[in-house]
Amino acid sequence: MPAQFAVTVTPGLSAPENPASTEQKAPGDMKQLIGLTTGELETMAAELGQPAYRGRQLASWLYRRGAETVEDMTDLPRGMRQRLANAYVVGLPAVAHKDVSQDETVKYLMRQCDGLTIESVYLPYPGRVSGCLSTQVGCPAGCTFCATAQGGLARNLSAGEIIGQFLRMQIESDRRISHVVYMGMGEPLWNYEAVVKSLRLLGDEVGLSMRNLTVSTVGVVPGIRALTKEDLPITLALSLHAPNDELRSTLIPTARKWKLEEILDACAEYARTTHRNLTYEYLLIGGINDAPELARELAARLKANHLPGNVNLIPFNYVETPQGFRSPTRESILRFRAELEKAGRVTTQRMTRGHTISAACGQLRRHAELEQGSLLPLRDKQTSQTLKLYGSSPGESGC
């Protein structure tokens, strides 16, 4: 659930609702500061008998100055800090595990306040740095090639938890993270409100250009239609992976619910209304969806639907699957790409970064659990076991 903010100083309220209370709360009852807007923090400052600018100072500490605890905010009056700390934590996730690749990609396993773990990736390029964020703990989509899908969904992340991943990676990095992709664990458009709030926080509070934010979806049509109306100049990426429903539904279970025609129609409306280009992600799996005729079919389909935008080819990063999926050969990638370009479609190929650290979606968590000997059987989606799969001990989280 998104972090809710409701501060009204009413006599008799318990500490989380009333920051003026002097009663110290148990760690599990604390609310998170990250996720609140400057306006909400100004209201909180007023409730504490402080001028509004104290709220703006708080926002600056949280979103731009890397505060990890309320105590770090040294220019706030001591009394205010004490009362805040009685009811609130900053709410940054802790780094539970970290793998650095030879190409300097860093894959993080981050532990949330309740002990559950998610993955985030730091991707440094020569001219810029990108952060890849998760939007859910696990994922309900069930894509057959994806390691995250094998554990099911534990819960949604709040807006604060989504941007907390960015803030933690920014604290760890000497370079400024300028771009963000929502391509980690989860389906962003199934956690719509928190995701939209987190995009606004990254733009308005952290100060990133909205044009540098990309949301990737498996094709949740109501979500695409809602996003069209938000007036957010972000980039939408559609995970296509196949040019027709027959093949697509063998890879993506939700393809049985939302047919390609409906998805592409929603995307075309998105492009027309927002004047933003889309990106199409195409995961290439050897012998499954990498034939040149499928590239021709894909180009024709996008053209017929009047869809602008680049196709991003992603070679399958090996994950053990019941179907025995394998990576595509170099030749098949080049052939597929050549067919798309012959048809006039600009095509990029995702650099396979972080190979040495299992940087495909959901792989780090699986590896960490394998090491600990706690990995559950594939496709076991019982809720209690799902929670176990994502870890449930609070450990040394930043809360």
Distance CA 39, CA 201 (A): 12
The interface mask with ligand SAH, positions 319-338, x = CB under 6 A, is x-------------------
* 283 counts as binding ligand SAH under rule CB under 6 A: yes
Q: Report in angstroms how near the CB of residue 254 gets to ligand SAH at its nearest.
A: 9
**In the structure encoding, which two tokens stand for residue 78, read together?**
């001591």
* 239 counts as binding ligand SAH under rule CB under 6 A: yes
Helices (H) and strands (E) in the chain, counts: 12, 14
* 281 counts as binding ligand SAH under rule CB under 6 A: yes
Residue pair 179/129 in contact (Cβ under 8 Å)? The answer is yes
Q: Report in angstroms how near the CB of residue 48 gets to ligand SAH at its nearest.
A: 39
Q: Report in angstroms how near the CB of residue 238 gets to ligand SAH at its nearest.
A: 7
What sign results for the dihedral spanned by CA atoms 255, 261, 267, 269?
negative
Distance CA 185, CA 153 (A): 10
Query: Taking contact as CB under 6 A, which single stretch among the options 103-111, 139-147, 243-251, 370-378 is the one that binds ligand SAH?
Result: 139-147
Q: Where are the beta strands (DSSP E) in 112-232?
A: 117-124, 129-132, 136-138, 153-156, 179-182, 213-217
**The one catalytic residue among 40, 42, 119, 369:** 119
Q: Report in angstroms how near the CB of residue 66 gets to ligand SAH at its nearest.
A: 27
* 266 counts as binding ligand SAH under rule CB under 6 A: no
Residue 80, beta-bridge partner list: none
Q: Where are the beta strands (DSSP E) in 68-208?
A: 88-89, 94-100, 106-111, 117-124, 129-132, 136-138, 153-156, 179-182
Residue numbers 96-135 binding ligand SAH by CB under 6 A: none
**The one catalytic residue among 161, 361, 369, 399:** 361
Query: Taking contact as CB under 6 A, which single stretch among the options 152-160, 167-175, 210-218, 243-251 is the one that binds ligand SAH?
Result: 210-218
* 361 counts as binding ligand SAH under rule CB under 6 A: yes
Is position 143 annotated as part of the catalytic site?
Answer: no
CB atoms within 10 A of CB 175: 10
Is position 320 annotated as part of the catalytic site?
Answer: no
Cβ proximity to ligand SAH: between 41 and 123 the closer is 123
What sign results for the dihedral spanned by CA atoms 238, 239, 243, 246?
negative
Burial class (CB in 10 A: 0-12, 13-18, 19+), 4: exposed
* 317 counts as binding ligand SAH under rule CB under 6 A: yes
Q: Residue from 99, 114, 187, 339 that binds ligand SAH (CB under 6 A)?
A: 187
Closest CA to 315 of 305, 331, 328: 328
Query: Taking contact as CB under 6 A, which single stretch among the options 16-24, 140-148, 191-199, 266-274 is the one that binds ligand SAH?
Result: 140-148
Residues at the interface with ligand SAH (CB under 6 A): 141, 145-146, 183, 187, 216-218, 239, 281, 283, 314, 316-317, 319, 360-361
Residues with a known catalytic role: 119, 361
